[in-house]
A = this chain, B = another copy of it.
Amino acid sequence: MADWIAVDWGTTALRITRMEGGRPRETRESDRGMNTLDPDAFEPTLLDLAGDWIDGPTEILACGMVGARQGWAEATYRTVPCAAVDGDLTRVETRDPRLRVSIVPGVRQLDPHPDVMRGEETQIAGIVTSLDDFEGVACLPGTHTKWAHLSAGEIVSFRTVMTGELFATITGQSVLRHSLAGDGWDEAAFLDAVSDTLSQPELLTARMFELRAADLLHGQEAATGRAILSGLLIGAELAATKPWWLGRDVVITGSEKTTRAYATALSAQGLDPKLLPADEMTFAGLNVLRDA
């Protein structure tokens, strides 16, 4: 049985965790993400995966794209600047009377440029709670990396950069896929490339085709090419976000591999970022939000 169930329901994946207070006890995963489900399919999908955890009234708190307009129920965005920890959750009606489901609203920005997040606001609540009212910049690398300026317990502003999705799309779909296969890595080539586009971001798209030509003409290793592409993209992202991180305290919260890449890149610029695992911040965030 569960005290409550933490649910991270994204576009392409569903992950549920049986919780005892703030502690995860067991996690189950499914590929039944938001984009595979009609609105009335969310409840049976959750029951399929969590069924034996539910014995009597059960609190379920979900974050992510599950709260989008095309999700289970729309959880209307809060607008920055707004509290990092806010207990205004969206309650979802269920057919099964044992379920007490709430969804964490996403956060939007109207000015100085339009932006949205769903899911990362929960990790930010976890960061602010875990680091005792952290002041600085949270970098949440992933498919759509978020940079959030946090001050006085508020999300002041944020910026999304599509670095992860661009890397996946270019290595998976473009002509470079022939030269960048596998999952190898070349740390020195990565750091050189970060430095290149951080200082000359205008070269990002011009440098990409070199990866194909270097393979054709010099047999450049795929591992080197992948690391260079990643470095070029992250370097360009750091150039775009320099006003955010320069001279600030930075915390990075992502999967292990992407966190390491961003940490290495920022450390090479003289920063000393704190690293917090994404799943722990999701649990910490959901736990603080259910009591907020």
Instruction: Mark A residues whose CB is within 8 Å of B.
Output: 108-110, 113-116, 144, 159-163, 165-166, 169-170, 172-176, 201-210, 212-214, 216-218, 233, 236-237, 239-242
26 residue pairs of the A-B complex, CB under 8 angstroms, read A113-B207, A113-B213, A114-B210, A114-B214, A114-B216, A114-B217, A115-B210, A115-B213, A116-B213, A116-B217, A161-B206, A162-B174, A166-B205, A166-B208, A169-B170, A172-B173, A173-B173, A202-B236, A202-B239, A203-B240, A204-B205, A204-B240, A205-B236, A205-B240, A206-B237, A206-B240
Smallest CB gap from A217: residue in B: B114
Q: Are B162 and A209 in contact (CB under 8 A)?
A: yes
Residue from A109, A115, A159, A242 having most chain B Cβ neighbours under 10 A: A115
Total copies of this chain within the assembly: 2
Q: Are B210 and A113 in contact (CB under 8 A)?
A: yes
The smallest C-beta distance from A31 to any residue of chain B, in angstroms, reads 18
Q: Is the interface of A mostly helix, strand, loop or mixed?
A: helix
Q: Which residues of B contact A237 (CB under 8 A)?
A: 205-206
The smallest C-beta distance from A175 to any residue of chain B, in angstroms, reads 6
Q: Which residues of B contact A169 (CB under 8 A)?
A: 169-170, 173-174
Q: A160-B213, A169-B169 are in contact. Are A204 and B206 (CB under 8 A)?
A: no
Q: Are B205 and A202 in contact (CB under 8 A)?
A: no
The smallest C-beta distance from A215 to any residue of chain B, in angstroms, reads 9
Q: Which residues of B contact A206 (CB under 8 A)?
A: 159-161, 237, 240-241
Distance of A209 Cα from B166 Cα, bound (Å): 11
